[in-house]
Amino acid sequence: MRAGVNCRWMETKKAAGTFFTKQLMHWHSAHNNRSLPWKEEKEPYKIWLSEIILQQTRAAQGLPYYLRFTEAYPTVQHLAAANDEDAFRLWQGLGYYNRCKNMLATARIITGDLNGCFPVTYEGLLALKGIGPYTAAAIASFAYGLPQAVVDGNVYRVLARYFGIDTPFDTTEGKKEFATLAQQLLDVNDSAGYNQAIMDLGATVCTPALPKCSECPLQAQCTAFRQGTVQLLPVRSKKQAVRNRYFHYLLLVDGDAVWIRKRDGKDIWQNLHEPFLIEHDAPMDVKMLAKHNSFGGLGVRKEPVFEGMLKQKLTHQLIETRFFTLPVKLAVNKHLEGGNWVKFSDLKKLAFPKTIVSFLEKKLYF
């Protein structure tokens, strides 16, 4: 590219950026009426709490969880002192349970090691467990007014469409390109307002499907709108295949108690509870299940009773779950490890994955 052409291209890009920020901020002050309880919040704890809850979660879904957590734990000190089971019960149904685990750990670090105060720098926030670049930027901007641009799914979409960026946003190159551009466009005099504006525009106007281009303040210079590529942007490098898994839950029942264990390891639903699980590479009916090695190890000769089937779609997994009941005597204890007998009346005190909650509620266990 010749020097003169390059200069004109840079000037055009700069003008497009100036238009972008100016129009976005005007829209935010005059037309953005999206109301959420954390939008005007300046307290770092509540901003942090909202951002952790909203990771991989739509605002409408996250709102009731935010309200429940702020009511139960109004300060970071209250959250640090929380019983883990109680916190996981509040989180139940939100998914990505490692977020809750990290949230509790960070609350305890802030309370125990930092005198109950959040770090006041982007770098300090980034050093905390469970806080990545986006969350650190959000707290730094919304709580302290620091010039840090947030970059989330809404921001990727708005920037990709407006500037016609076809670099996959989920690659190292793409993340760097979008982060650099977002920082260049930031209104440093009102970083909180700018960040809220671009996220709200992506959530309400520049939506993934059926975007409201006629209502968009950026339409006049939007590359994707002019070129008819709105539905093609942003670009993801590749679509991850969905893994099918088949869970078979045995409710081992002795009188008014059922055997329950807590999930551990690095798999899904970590720290949540479940009945006796037999996972297989294909769905099993009653007779197939009764012949499975894990079932045989229980030392029970009767067949289980099929109670129903539910499905749950996770980000990259489809969990097909079948439930069975099996009356047993306490003698089966010698064949069981890692769990406990829990009375049905006490099941509500434990946190379960959404699928198990749906089953237990349907069967009136709690």
Copy the structure tokens of residue 308.
């129903």
Contact between 104 and 79 (Cβ < 8 Å): yes
CA dihedral (71, 75, 81, 82) in degrees, to 10, reads: 30
162/89 Cα distance (integer angstroms):
42
CA-closest candidate to residue 143, choices 103, 196, 202? 196
Alpha helices in the chain (DSSP H): 3-30, 44-54, 59-72, 76-80, 84-91, 98-113, 122-126, 133-144, 153-163, 172-185, 191-204, 223-227, 286-290, 293-296, 354-362
Q: What is the 3-state secondary structure (H, E, C) of 203-253?
A: HHCCCCCCCCHHHCCCHHHCHHHHHCCHHHCCCCCCCCCCEEEEEEEEEEE
Query: Residues with catalytic annotation?
Result: 51
> Distance between alpha carbon 182 and the CA centroid of its chain, in Å?
22
Looking at residue 328, the DSSP 8-state letter turns out to be -
Q: What element of type H or E holds 319?
A: strand 317-327
In angstroms, what CA-CA distances link 172 with 32, 175, 281?
A: 32, 5, 34
DSSP state, residue 303: P
Cβ atoms of residues 245 and 319 within 8 Å:
yes
DSSP-derived secondary structure letter, 349: G
Residues 6+ away with beta carbon under 8 Å from 4: none
Residues 6 or more apart whose Cβ sits within 8 Å of residue 240: 316
The CA distance from 36 to 149, in Å, is 20
CB contact set of 254 (below 8 Å; sequence gap of 6+):
327, 328, 329, 330, 332, 341
Phi/psi of residue 252, nearest 5 degrees: -80, 110
